[in-house]
Amino acid sequence: MFEATTQNRRDRRTQTLFRVLFGAMTVLLIIPVLIILGTLIVKGGPIVSINFLFTNPTHGMTAGGIFPALLGTVWLVSVALLASVPLGVAAAIYLSEYAGDNWLTRIINLAIINLAGVPSIVHALFGVGAFVLFFEFGTSILAASLTLAIMTLPVVIVSTLQSLQSVPHAFREACWNMGATRWQTIRKVVLPNAISGILTGIILEVSAPPARPPRSCSPVRCSSPPFCPRACSTRPWPWPCICSWSPPRSRTSRRPCPSVSPWS
């Protein structure tokens, strides 16, 4: 029989220590989610009703419902998905089924990582510079949605790519052996097998994006039309002018309201 030496016991104590420590860290990391969810439900839950969701705000945004904002979000996301899903799926098909392991593929991968990593505010600047001003869409659902589409593109590509790659390679080989072209293989074999995964990925991305790519709401702030242009100048200080399209406040600027502005 083996006798546990002092060294053995010390090792085991160290192991238990780190196990507990890391477990506690994990729990501490997760507690904020529960606190946030709890706070939101306790404070916001009683207010949510059919009436709240489907009526217009009244009394200068202090009463009534959120219907216009809700409708705006639905529009933004739908148009953005219309643009990003076909493009993203095409890109994923290319990367999974056609691309070889070469420099172009490496650059594409790097571009996808960067597209996901570029700060959302830079996406917003791009949206203003390209869609609002250069293509003259103005501040519109179209401009905001296309900006969102580019932001969500990497998520769509990555999640679709994972679904496509989970289809076993043997399926493709069997199909090629029957004389099918690559596209026939993709359409008849790969896509039917991957479609549920692709859809799940896209739906999750809309409601709750997977951990990877960052998501933020700033492009919408900068390139969609003002929902509450009046409300924000009256907010107390810590609210950092949520409506960035409001006229210049006297605190920061004494100049008159710019006459040519993308938000006018």
Partner 1 sequence: MAASSRTGTSRHPDPDRLDAAWFVDRAVQFIVFLGGISAIVFVLGIFLFITKEGLGFIVHDLNLKEFFLSPRWVPTSEHHPTYGILALMAGTASITGLAMVVAVPFSLGAAVYISEFATGRTKETLKVLVELLAAIPSVVWGFIGLTIMNPLIIALFDVPVGLNILNAGIILGLMAAPIMTSISEDALRAVPDRYREAAEALGATRWQLIYKTVFPAAKNGLLGAVLLGVGRGFGETMAVLMASGHAIHMPTSIFDSVRALTATIAAELGETAVGSVHYKALFTIGIFLFLVTFLINLTADLIVRGIRKG
Residues 158-187 that bind partner 1 (CB under 8 A): 181-184, 186
Minimum distance between the CB of residue 169 and partner 1, rounded to whole angstroms? 18
Minimum distance between the CB of residue 27 and partner 1, rounded to whole angstroms? 9
Does residue 11 bind partner 1 (CB under 8 A)? yes
8 Å CB contact between 219 and 142: no
Cα–Cα dist 54/80, whole Å? 23
Candidate residues 66, 128, 155, 164; the one interacting with partner 1 per rule CB under 8 A: 128
Minimum distance between the CB of residue 108 and partner 1, rounded to whole angstroms? 6
Give the residue with the Cβ less far from partner 1, 21 or 174: 21
Cα–Cα dist 84/230, whole Å? 33
Candidate residues 145, 152, 163, 246; the one interacting with partner 1 per rule CB under 8 A: 246
Contacts with partner 1 by CB under 8 A: the residue count is: 102
Give the residue with the Cβ less far from partner 1, 79 or 263: 263
DSSP 8-state assignment for residue 231: G
Minimum distance between the CB of residue 13 and partner 1, rounded to whole angstroms? 10
Give the residue with the Cβ less far from partner 1, 119 or 168: 119
Buried b (16+ CB within 10 A) or exposed e, 116-127: bebebeebbbbb
8 Å CB contact between 198 and 145: no
Residues numbered 12-51 forming contacts with partner 1, rule: CB under 8 A: 12, 14-15, 17-19, 21-23, 25-26, 28-30, 32-33, 35-36, 39-40
8 Å CB contact between 243 and 235: no
Minimum distance between the CB of residue 116 and partner 1, rounded to whole angstroms? 8
Give the residue with the Cβ less far from partner 1, 51 or 107: 107
Minimum distance between the CB of residue 187 and partner 1, rounded to whole angstroms? 9
Residue-wise DSSP of 139-204: SSHHHHHHHHHHHHHHHHHHHHHHHHHTS-HHHHHHHHHTT--HHHHIIIIIHHHHHHHHHHHHHH
Give the residue with the Cβ less far from partner 1, 57 or 247: 247
Q: Which amino acid is at 114?
A: N
Cα–Cα dist 127/76, whole Å? 14
Give the residue with the Cβ less far from partner 1, 56 or 252: 252
Tell how far CA 212 is from the center of its chain: 9
Candidate residues 51, 210, 230, 234; the one interacting with partner 1 per rule CB under 8 A: 210
Does residue 77 bind partner 1 (CB under 8 A)? no
Residue tagged 């929902």 (tokens): 227
Strand bridging mode 57-58 / 63-64: antiparallel
Give the residue with the Cβ less far from partner 1, 65 or 213: 213
Tell me, residue by residue from 85 to 114, as one string, x for binding to partner 1 by CB under 8 A and - for no binding: -xxxxxxxxxx-xxx----x--xxxxxxxx
